[in-house]
Every structure is written in C-alpha cells, then in structure tokens.
Chain A
Amino acid sequence: MAIVTGSRRMRRVEAVLVYLALAALTAAFLFPLVWILGLSLKSRPQIFASPPLYLWWPTLEHYLDVLGRSDFLRAFLNTLIVSTSAVLLSLAVGLPAAYAFARFPFRGRSFLFFSLLVMRMLPPIAVLVPMYVLLNQVGLTTTHLSVVLAYTTFSLPLVVWIMRGFFEDLPRELEECAWIDGATRLVTFWRVVLPLARPGMVAAGILCLQLAWNDFLFAAVLTNNATQTLPVLMAGFSGGDSGVDWGAMTASGMLVILPVIIFSFAAQKHLVAGLSSGAVKG
C-alpha cells in the first residue's frame, strides 16, 4: 500500500516536472514568433520604445499599410500562381507514375524510384546554376514558367514518393473487380483509384504547396520585380541603405507565414510522412 501511494505521489511530481519542462520549451520556441507578432501590432514609436513595451493598445496600421502596397499584393499573387501551378503540374505528371510504382513490378523499378529520391535530396543550388543559364538562353528567366519548372524539381519527386505510399495502402480488391469486368488499367486508374486516393492527393498537394510557398533561393534568382514571390520581397525589406522598415517587415512576415501555418495544420496528419519523404510513415 505504501508503495502504491509513494508511486502515486512520484507520478504526480513527475507530471509536474514534465509540464514544467514542456512549458519552458514551448516558451522558448514560441517566443520569437510571439514577440514579432507583438511588434507588428505596435505603432512606430512603440516599436522603438526603450524599455520595450509589454502592454499596449494594439494597432493594425502596419497590416493595413502592407495590404495597401501594390508590390505586396503582386508578390502574393505571384507566389500563389507559381506554387499552385507547380503543385498541379507535379500531380498531373506524378500520379500515374506513383500508381505504376505502387502496383506493377517492372524492370528497373527500384532503381528509378530511388533515383527520384536522390533528386529530391541533392542541393538545389546545384540545379539552379545551369538552369539559370539554360532558361536565360531561351528567354524564360523572370517568367512564372521558369519558377514553376524550378519548383517541379522538388515537388514532382515528393508527389511520386508520397503517393506511392498512399496507393500501396489502398485495397487491391476494387481494382481487381474492375479488371475482371474488362476495364483497362487506365480506366481503372482514372475511375476507381484516383477517387479513392483523393485524401492522399490533398495531403501531397499541401506539402508541396508549403515547400513551394517557402522557397527563397529559386525565386530569388529566377524572378524580377514584377514576378518576385513573397519570400523575395521580404528579403528586400531588410536590405539596402534605407534600413529596415520594422513595421512593414513584421506585419508582412506574419501575413506570409499565416497561409503556410493554415496549410500545415490541415495536413498535419501526413506531415511526418511528407517531411521524411515517406521514409517514416506518420
């Protein structure tokens, strides 16, 4: 009996310690975001107040300012266009391949599959150097298409990798019924498999969208002022001799990360599978 109460007390002490450790870690990890959110809601004099203000009446002036800027809205639109195009292109091209990898053994299957994984793992700067020269030659740099092609280098392997896992997990029986009824593999894929794999397509699409939305390197090299994406615009806020516009930077930073956080929570269930390229299923 004494042992039981002792261990119960131990357990309560332990629970408190676990909570304390987690609270400390959460505070440390969230502090930068919370502080920047705070700065974005302060007026200019409040931002530079010394000592820093911990309590103030929040203002939305920087958000209204940023949302009224034409370059921010254009960059937002550019980001949306290039990242969704890259995702749709990758899904259109990659879904049949992922299905073939999941279902039909063929010569060289594992070699081809792992070569896709290797492509996903190579440093993007190595592709960007020659890609820039080649795209420049055909006059495509600074167009949306060049960025879409660049994003496809990482989103297509990711789509194939993730969707293979989803297709493998689908029950075979439905496809076999369709084959027995005389449907071709193509018809079966289109009418039976794809509708079943819709949740997987959404998850893979969101993960690719997130990567494309967050990219800086490709967009920094392959765009100009008219086609730049949000991360490139953001990087421009901190450079130059005019100094950093703290209000615009913090407010636009919050606006840039907000959609990504929403996507990510929507696909949270599949996050682990995606971020480990399918090496570990979440």
Chain B
Amino acid sequence: MSDGTRLARRPFAFAPSPAGRAEAMRGRSLSLDRWFTPLAVLPTFVVMIGIFGLPLLFSLYLSFTGWAPGRDLLGGEFVGLANYEDLLADPVFLGSLGITFGYTAAAVAAQLALGLAIALLLNVDLPHMRAFRTALVLPMMVTPIVGALCWKLLLDPSHGVINHWIGERIVWLGQPGTALAAVWVVNVWHSTPYVALILLAGLRSLPSEPGEAAAIDGASRWQMFRHVTLPLLRPYLLVALLLRTIFEFRAFDNIYAMTGGGPANSTMVLSMFTYLTTFVRFDFSLGAAASWLMLLMAMLICLFFIAVIRRRDAH
C-alpha cells in the first residue's frame, strides 16, 4: 500500500460529515447491541453451570461408582446401580422417605390452614392491623437454627418453661412420637408467617366487585368465603402450597439442631439422611445416590410448580 492512498483515505476516515458520523455511530452501536443480550446472559449461566451444573453431573458420576475420600477425582470404579440398590434396600432410607413426605404434608397443611386464618384476620379493616402484622411475621425472620435452638431450651426436660407449666418432666426430643411433633411445631411456628404474607397479598389484590355482588344477593359470610373469596384466592393458595412443599421437602436446620435425626431415626428426613451418610459416615457415593433421588423428586415438584405458574401467566 502506497503512502498516497493512505493519505487520500485519511480525511474521509477522520472527518466525515455530521450526518455521516451519526450514521457511523449508529452502525457501530447496532453491531455492539447485537452482542448485548448474549453477553449479558452469559456470565450468569457460566457461573451457574460452574457451581451448579458441573457439581450435579459429578455427583451423578459419583452415584454410579464406589468412590471414597483419598481417591482421584475420577478414580472410583464403576458399580452400576449398586448404590441405588443399597439405598432401596436400606430400611433407614425407606423410613426417611416416608417421614419426609409425611412431615412435609403435615407441615404444609398446618401452615396453610393457620396462614389462611391469620391472613383473613389481618385483612379485616380495623385500626392497628399493621402492628399485628409486624409482630406476626417476626418468627420467619429468625435464623432457622437459632429458632430451633431456642425451642430446644423451651422444651428442655428439667429447666424448660413448657415442662414447668405442664408440671411433668416430658423428654420431648427423646421419644420418637413427641420428637417429630416438636420439630413439626417449630416448623409451623417459623414458616406460617410466609404463607400468611403471601395470602394477605393475595387477599389485598382481589377485586371487590364479586364480593359486593354476592353481598347484594344476600350471601352469608360463610357462603361469601366459600364461593367467592376462596376460588379467587386459589392461585395464591397454589403458589404458597407448592413453595412450602418444595422448602419443607429439603427440611434440615431445625431437625439438625433439635434431634439430629433421632431418636431411633424417628425424625430422619431425606436431607438429614444424606448429610449423615456423606459427611459423618463419609460414604460419598451413597450420599450422591441419595441426593440424586432427592433431586429427581424435587424436580418433579418443580415442574408441576412451573406448569401452574405458566398457566397463570397465560391467562
């Protein structure tokens, strides 16, 4: 390339007309804009694949091998479905399946019933409702493990205030029947405010016309609740139901703090079982298999949840 052509082009490149400059900038910005969306979304998915996707794939691999600490990362020998077979033959694991589902159902049912009652009460148009709402949501802000440890003191057999009021020395957390009930009470205490807040937001957003129409038609209070409020509240009830199901399914903190899965495995939920298998007995392969079974079950609940939300968004 000769100097002459370079000089000849330079004025064109450096001093375009104002209109040309705007055009050039627009062209450049449009070509940059084409990359904006992919570049904006990419980091999130790189991070999520790195800290979520790859570990889960690795755990799937672990679940098909006999891996033990001290080996190379990919050094376990392939054992096929042996870990899964071991789990399904383990009475403690099978028991924990039953306990997890029973505990989840009982906890969510109680949270929904009590949460709905609280939301309906807080929705009544009276002075000072904000104060009640503030006081009632306090438990859900408490760090779960701290809440559970506090309850453990209240339930203490010899110095706990609850036994003092009852006048008996009940070892609440030392007997299978009462231990599960105690853990359930703590859960309901901690998580009912979530449900109440979701349902209260729902009640506040309901249109007033259907209720007014029903009142003009002479509907009773119960009829209004049963045939107007409840059907309108259905989407909120569904969201609360599914979210709480997903979060109770993974229950861990309060059980770890209060019973550690005992006594006699009576509070052994799936998270607790997986934790003990992996980090106390150091059987990483069996733990990986148990956590993959948990994942599959949680994913089924999630897909159901997403289907419900999407159907609502479509309306």
A: residues with CB less than 8 A from B are 15, 18-19, 21-22, 25-26, 29-30, 32-33, 35-36, 39, 47-48, 50-52, 93-94, 96-97, 99-101, 104, 106, 112, 114, 116-119, 121-127, 129-134, 136-137, 149-150, 152-153, 156-157, 160, 182-186, 189, 210, 213-214, 216-217, 220-221, 230-231, 234-235, 237-238, 244, 246, 249-250, 253, 256-257, 260-261, 264-265, 268, 271-272, 275-277, 279-282
Contact = CB atoms under 8 A, between A and B. Distances in A.
Which of B52, B138, B159, B299 is the most central at the interface, judged by chain A CB atoms within 10 Å of its CB?
B52
Interface in B86-139: 117-118, 121-122, 124, 126, 132, 134-139
A48 B151 CA distance: 16
A265 B47 CA distance: 31
B32 A134 contact: no
A216 B153 contact: no
B298 A129 contact: no
Contacts, number: 273
A279 B250 contact: no
Interface stretch (B12-20, B174-182, B210-218, B286-294): B286-294
Given A18-B121, A18-B126, A133-B73, A186 B305 contact: no
A-B interface, 3 closest residue pairs, ranked by CB to CB distance from nearest: A96-B40, A130-B59, A123-B250
Size category, B interface: 35 or more
B73 A137 contact: yes
B48 interface: yes
Contacts of B26: 182
Which of B44, B284, B301 is the most central at the interface, judged by chain A CB atoms within 10 Å of its CB?
B44
A253 B154 CA distance: 14
A260 B142 CA distance: 7
A84 B44 CA distance: 18
B149 interface: yes
A101 B41 contact: yes
Which of B59, B150, B298 is the most central at the interface, judged by chain A CB atoms within 10 Å of its CB?
B150
A126 B292 CA distance: 7
B140 to A, nearest CB: 8
A181 to B, nearest CB: 10
Contacts of B143: 213-214, 216, 230-231, 234, 256-257, 260
Contacts of A152: 47, 51
B202 interface: yes
Contact of A29 (B45, B189, B275, B301): B189
B132 A235 contact: no
A119 B309 contact: no
A118 B299 contact: yes
A123 B298 contact: yes
Given A29-B139, A126-B59, A275-B194, A183 B29 contact: yes
Contact of A250 (B138, B153, B298, B306): B153
Contact of A231 (B58, B146, B154, B239): B146
Which of A94, A131, A185, A256 is the most central at the interface, judged by chain B CB atoms within 10 Å of its CB?
A185
23 contacts: A25-B118, A29-B136, A32-B139, A96-B41, A97-B40, A121-B305, A123-B295, A129-B274, A130-B56, A153-B51, A184-B36, A189-B36, A213-B143, A216-B143, A216-B144, A216-B253, A216-B256, A217-B275, A231-B146, A234-B149, A256-B143, A257-B146, A276-B239
Given A235-B257, A280-B198, A186 B274 contact: no
A41 to B, nearest CB: 14
Nearest to B204: A282
A82 B159 CA distance: 36
A182 B135 CA distance: 52
A125 B152 contact: no
A150 B48 CA distance: 11
Contacts of A213: 143
B146 A35 contact: no
Contact of B295 (A112, A126, A237, A249): A126
Nearest to B260: A239
B22 to A, nearest CB: 7
Given A22-B132, A25-B136, A51-B164, A134 B55 contact: yes
A122 B118 contact: no
A134 B32 CA distance: 37
A238 B291 contact: no
Which of B55, B189, B291 is the most central at the interface, judged by chain A CB atoms within 10 Å of its CB?
B55
A114 B309 CA distance: 10
Which of A121, A129, A256 is the most central at the interface, judged by chain B CB atoms within 10 Å of its CB?
A129
B299 A275 contact: no
A104 B36 contact: yes
Interface in B220-273: 236, 239-240, 243, 246, 249-250, 252-253, 256-257, 270-271
Given A156-B48, A214-B143, A130 B288 contact: yes
A143 to B, nearest CB: 15
Given A250-B150, A272-B198, A276-B243, A125 B250 contact: yes
Contacts of A119: 48, 52
Given A121-B305, A129-B287, A214 B144 contact: yes
Contacts of A156: 44, 47-48
B271 A123 contact: yes
Given A129-B274, A214-B144, A280-B239, A182 B73 contact: no
A125 B284 contact: no
